[in-house]
Amino acid sequence: MSQLPKPDTAELRGKYAGVFERPASARLALPAVIVAALAIFAYGLVDLDFSPSKLITGMSQLGWITMMMIPPNPGSSFPLYMQALGETLSIALLGTTLAALFALPVSLLAARNIIPSNLIRFPVRRFLDSIRGVDTLIWALVWINVVGLGPFAGVLAIMVSDFGAFGKLFSEAIEAADRKQVEGIRASGGNALHEIRFGLLQQVLPVIAGQVLYFIESNTRSATIIGIVGAGGIGLQLAEQIRVLEWQKVSFLILMILIAVAAIDFISSKLRFAIIGQRAVV
Amino acid sequence: MATAISILPAQQLATLNDAYRKAVARKRLKVTVAAAVFCAALFIAALGADVNLHTFFTYFGNFVSYFDRILTLDSGARVWTDPVEWFWGLKKWLRLLGETLLISYVGTLTGAVFAFALNFFAAQNTSPGPWVRFTVRRLLEFARTVPGIVFALIFVIAFGLGPMAGVLAIAIHTTGALGKLFAEIVENADMKPVEGIRSTGASWLSCMRFGILPQVSAGYASYALLRFEINVREASVMGFVGAGGIGQELVVAIRKFYYSDVSAILVTIIVTVFIIDISTGWLRGRLFGKETRR
């Protein structure tokens, strides 16, 4: 039996001083960050009135609510819920499409390769950022003040909040486009509009279509909740049933939302592949 | 030196032209049909969502004048002429904003810890068994798909009004969202270190701790920071259903038509979101280099 050679620790230490003797600041950095994070966490628990007794009673209450939810049962309101779900899908589809239509011209203004001047680009970008900084629910409240309660306010809320997101995403897609096509069109004597129409849009549209489809899907989720503040759709029913503690109906509505989102997910991913890839160019 | 462009004989040209026209016509037909289906869907959606252009144009003035109103003080002056009057409640709002930030911080951290605990079971390459994987995946999917504010609505009833419901709602939603992203990072990790560690006779836990964790921890932290950013926005509306934070104040101001308060609270929220976005972006850049955003 041969024995492994004993490592010469002293020599190794001398050779790799950086590994064996790290400066105290580097050694303490990670523990310091962890301690600080935990300290803020603990402060948060105290400041936000967390108490074990509240947690336990809440949990038992929650368990009780869950028991009440089984089995999911729509009662006699199933047709009403289907209609509400249709309303939600309509809100998502219409809001996203309108947002994309309005965002496309604005995103050209925010793209570096179209508008080289910072003077225009900067305010446009900050404008889009501010729109995005406000949650969809807040926009829904604002629009309810303008057009009244109902799904129309929901459409407008989704439209505005997505406008901010699309403006940013589209301009990024445009900035990533290849210059060569555009230069080719300029060389053949096309003007700026021709460059955008024949050089840029061809490259950008499939990317944009993919993003729009993805947003329709994620907006189905947002559209389910804007009803909570009164902007129509299935969220309105959900909030109402939670308020009157009809738990079986609540669980049925949640189930409906889950199935609808899964279905939209499936369809839109199929469509996305049809548009942006895995298809031979005709 | 001029080269002549060769012109094909008319017959050959005609067949080529024909084939080209047919190909283009087929493509055009496809696009037209797709556009027609899409327009029909939009039309049905417009009916379903009660879109009424008449209402829209009648009230569009309201939308513009709404901004006019929220930018006017009670005294009739523009808000920016008297910032002290405009931000009269700044002290209270900042306290509530602090609460909103705390809600999203505690919620994100709790959610990240749960996501961390679950993600090794959800990832294909590290999961101990297909059944565990299936169950954990469905669980995460559920937590992610049900909107946070729906959880908040239910938790407000179970735990009472207040920030606790908001924290728990954000924690659950974050668990679902981060669990999926974390699992994807783990699936991209190199398995060779794990094999090396397993070959020394180590347990599953040690394989995860010494083989996977060093590779993925930077990605985890990066996604958690990104999630914190999103959760700040989400926490700002938790108050709408009574789950704490600045949202409560905002919804009251909007419903009671305290116009200048609406704009002041909105400005404080937007500025806070900006600051959080910029500082977490800077932090991410410093810690992990440039990484693509999701």
Mention every residue, 6+ apart, whose C-beta is less than 8 A from residue A43.
B102
The string of pLDDT tens digits covering residues A84-110 is: 888 888 888 888 888 998 998 888 888
User: What token pair was written down for B50?
Assistant: 């009660």
Q: Is A250 on the interface with B (CB under 8 A)?
A: yes
Distance CA A226, CA A95 (A): 12
CB distance A206 to A183 below 8 Å: no
Q: A257: which chain B residues are within 8 Å (Cβ-Cβ)?
A: 145-146
Q: At residue B279, what are phi and psi to the nearest 5 degrees?
A: -70, -40
Q: How do the pLDDT tens digits run along chain B, 294 residues long?
A: 566 777 778 888 888 889 999 988 988 898 889 889 888 888 888 877 777 777 777 777 777 788 788 787 777 777 777 777 778 878 888 999 999 999 999 999 999 999 999 988 888 888 878 899 999 999 998 898 888 888 998 899 888 888 899 999 999 999 999 998 898 888 888 888 888 988 988 888 888 888 888 888 888 888 888 889 889 988 988 888 888 888 888 888 888 888 888 888 888 888 888 888 888 878 877 776 554 443
Return the pLDDT at A277.
62
The H or E element containing residue A226 is: helix A201-226
Q: Is the pLDDT of residue A54 over 80?
A: yes
* DSSP conformation class of B51: -
Helix, strand, coil: what percent of chain B each, to 5? Answer: 80, 0, 20
Distance CA A89, CA A175 (A): 32
CB distance B149 to B231 below 8 Å: no
Distance CA B212, CA B187 (A): 10
Confidence category of residue A279, pLDDT binned at 50, 70, 90? very low
Interchain pair B42, A224: CB under 8 A: no
Interchain pair B270, A134: CB under 8 A: yes
For chain A, give the mean pLDDT. Answer: 83
Interchain pair A62, B154: CB under 8 A: yes
Does the bond joining A71 to the residue before it have cis omega, within 30 degrees of 0? yes
Helix B53-70, helix A136-147: angle, nearest 10: 110
- Which residues 249-278 of B are in CB contact (within 8 Å) with A? 250-251, 254-255, 266, 269-270, 273-274
Mention every residue, 6+ apart, whose C-beta is less than 8 A from residue A165.
A99, A132, A215
User: What token pair was written down for A238?
Assistant: 């959900």
A58: how many CB neighbours lie within 10 A of its CB?
18
State the DSSP string of A55-114: HHHHHHHHHHHHHHHPSP--TT-HHHHHHHHHHHHHHHHHHHHHHHHHHHHHHHHH-TTT
Distance CA B90, CA A141 (A): 22
Distance CA B219, CA B129 (A): 25
Q: B56: which chain A residues are within 8 Å (Cβ-Cβ)?
A: 147, 152
The string of pLDDT tens digits covering residues A237-263 is: 888 888 888 888 889 998 988 888 888
Helix A52-69, helix A247-276: angle, nearest 10: 80
Interchain pair A62, B155: CB under 8 A: yes
Taking residues A224-233, what's their average pLDDT? 84
Which of B240, B249, B258 should one mutate to test binding to chain A, selecting the residue with the greatest count of A CBs within 10 A?
Answer: B240
Distance CA A195, CA B75 (A): 52
Taking residues A168-180, what's their average pLDDT? 83
From residue B48, give the alpha-carbon distance in Å to each of A151, A246, B57, B59. 9, 26, 19, 20
Interchain pair A221, B145: CB under 8 A: yes
Taking residues A2-30, what's their average pLDDT? 76
Return the pLDDT at B8.
78
Helix ranges (DSSP H) in B239-258: 247-255
Return the pLDDT at B292.
45
Q: B62: which chain A residues are within 8 Å (Cβ-Cβ)?
A: 145-147
pTM metric for this prediction? 0.80
- Which residues 128-147 of A are in CB contact (within 8 Å) with B? 129-130, 133-135, 137-138, 141-143, 145-147
Distance CA A197, CA A146 (A): 36
Q: Is the pLDDT of residue A280 over 70?
A: no
Return the pLDDT at B111.
94
Of B7, B260, B125, B158, nearest in space to A68 by CA: B158
Interchain pair A135, B274: CB under 8 A: no
CB distance B264 to B93 below 8 Å: yes
Q: B266: which chain A residues are within 8 Å (Cβ-Cβ)?
A: 134, 138
Q: At residue A50, what are phi and psi to the nearest 5 degrees?
A: -80, 135
Percent over 90 (pLDDT), chain A: 2
Q: State whether residue B291 is helix, strand or coil.
A: coil
CB distance B110 to A50 below 8 Å: no
Distance CA A55, CA B171 (A): 14
